Every structure is written in C-alpha cells, then in structure tokens.
Amino acid sequence: MGDGFIPPNMRIVARSLQCNSAPINREPEDNVIEAVETCYGTPMLLIQWHPEAFNADDIDEKYHRNILIYMTKVGDTYYRKQKMLLELKKQFQFKGQ
C-alpha cells in the first residue's frame, strides 16, 4: 500500500523495516505501510492477508474462510447503510429545496 492510497481521514502509524532474519524465500521491502489509524476515531480493521496462500486443505482453512465471511458481511452492511441513508434523504427532503 503506497502513500497515494491513504485517504485524507487516515494517517500512517507504522512502517516496515528490513531485517536480517527474513525467510529465505522472501525479500521484505523497506518502508512498506504496516498500520494506519483513522483521524476521527472511527473503528476499522486492517489486515495484511495473502489470498493466494489460501488452500482448502490447509490447517488454517477456517482462518482464511473467516476473513472472507467477514469481508462479505462488512460489504453487505455498508450497502444496506447507504441504501437506508438514501431512503431517509428522500423521505425527509424539504419541499422548499
């Protein structure tokens, strides 16, 4: 995640550093954004997840599946909230505007 993708209501609070103990098959990048927080206290969850590592036979299958289920529920909740807000705007519009 580069700095250009951080919305104005968020700030970077942690970045990665190179280390000598990285796994042999990995080359970690310096200065990668690892954590952000909202400026207005809105709760949020950020995770670093590699879906390409998902394997249905994996012992961590439940972990990966729970991430997908959570993302689905969050997306559905956001959609329903936006729909409700539009309905409220329509219902309470002032006739003079």
CA distance 71 to 47: 11
Instruction: State whether 56 and 89 are in the same domain.
Output: yes
The predicted structure's pLDDT at residue 1: 47
Instruction: State whether 55 and 96 are in the same domain.
Output: yes
Q: Write out pLDDT tens, residues 29-53.
A: 667 787 888 887 666 777 777 777 7
CA distance 89 to 77: 18
Instruction: State whether 1 and 35 are in the same domain.
Output: yes
Instruction: State whether 39 and 23 are in the same domain.
Output: yes
Question: For the chain, what is the domain count?
Answer: 2
In 3-state terms, what secondary structure has residue 60? coil
Q: What is the pTM of this model?
A: 0.48
Domain assignment of residue 72, given as a range: 50-97
Instruction: State whether 63 and 23 are in the same domain.
Output: no
Instruction: State whether 40 and 54 are in the same domain.
Output: no
Which of 72, 71, 54 is CA-nearest to residue 63? 54
Instruction: State whether 24 and 63 are in the same domain.
Output: no
